[in-house]
C-alpha cells in the first residue's frame, strides 16, 4: 500500500468517527501589490537620492511616494470600486492629541501611507546600499527589516 492510499484510508477512517480534517495551507508568498509598491518606492527613492535631498528619511520618501503617479497606477491595477475610492478620500483625518502628525492631513493619504508602510520593511541604509554604488553602511551591516520600537514611559 503506497502512501497516498494510506493517507486516503486514514482520512476516511477519521471521517467515519466524526473527526474534522483540516488542510495545511501553503504559504502565499509576497502579494503582487507589494512588489509593485516596492518598485515604485525605489524609483522615488532613487530620484530623491540623485537630487541630494537634505536630511533624507524613510518617511520623506514614503510621503513623496504616496503622491506619485506610479503609486496611483499600482492602486488602479489592484483595487476596484469602493476600495479604490477609499485611497482618494479627501476628508480631514481625525487625530487624537497622542497620534497627531502634521504631514498627513487626509484620510486617503493615511490609508496610502499605511499600505506603503506594510509593503516596505526596509531601513534607509538598505535603500542607500541598493541605489548608491558609493555608499557603504557603518560596519558593513545592512538590516533588512525595521527594528521593533518599544513604548517609552514618559513618566521617568
Asked whether 104 and 67 are in contact (CB, 8 A), the reply is no
Task: Say if 104 falls within a structural domain.
Answer: yes
pLDDT greater than 60 at residue 154 = no
- Determine the structural domain holding residue 130 and report its residue range: 30-140
Task: Say if 63 falls within a structural domain.
Answer: yes
Task: Say if 24 falls within a structural domain.
Answer: no
Task: Say if 39 falls within a structural domain.
Answer: yes
Residue of 1, 106, 120 lying closest to 9 (CA atoms): 1
Q: 106: which strand partners?
A: 92
Per-residue pLDDT of 44-99, as tens digits, reads 999 999 999 999 999 999 999 999 999 999 999 999 999 999 999 988 888 777 77
Task: Say if 3 falls within a structural domain.
Answer: no
Task: Please tell me the total count of domains within the chain.
Answer: 1
Task: Say if 41 falls within a structural domain.
Answer: yes
Return the higher-pLDDT residue of 150 and 87. Answer: 87
Residue of 104, 122, 108 lying closest to 63 (CA atoms): 104
Task: Say if 8 falls within a structural domain.
Answer: no
Quick one: DSSP state of residue 138? G
Q: What is the largest CA-CA distance in the chain?
A: 70
Residue of 121, 120, 91 lying closest to 106 (CA atoms): 91
Task: Say if 147 falls within a structural domain.
Answer: no
Amino acid at each position: 500500500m503506497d502512501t497516498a492510499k494510506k493517507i486516503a484510508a486514514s482520512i476516511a477512517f477519521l471521517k467515519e468517527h466524526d473527526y474534522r480534517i483540516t488542510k495545511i495551507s501553503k504559504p502565499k508568498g509576497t502579494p503582487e501589490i507589494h512588489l509593485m509598491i516596492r518598485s515604485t518606492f525605489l524609483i522615488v527613492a532613487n530620484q530623491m537620492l540623485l537630487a541630494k535631498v537634505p536630511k533624507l528619511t524613510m518617511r520623506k520618501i514614503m510621503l513623496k511616494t504616496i503622491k506619485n503617479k506610479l503609486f496611483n497606477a499600482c492602486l488602479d491595477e489592484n483595487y476596484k470600486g469602493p476600495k479604490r475610492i477609499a485611497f482618494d478620500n479627501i476628508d480631514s483625518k481625525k487625530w487624537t492629541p497622542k497620534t497627531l502628525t502634521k504631514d498627513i492631513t487626509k484620510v486617503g493619504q493615511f490609508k496610502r501611507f499605511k499600505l506603503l508602510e506594510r509593503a516596505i520593511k526596509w531601513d534607509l541604509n538598505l535603500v542607500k546600499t541598493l541605489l548608491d554604488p558609493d555608499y557603504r553602511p557603518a560596519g558593513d551591516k545592512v538590516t533588512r527589516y525595521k527594528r521593533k520600537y518599544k513604548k517609552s514611559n514618559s513618566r521617568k
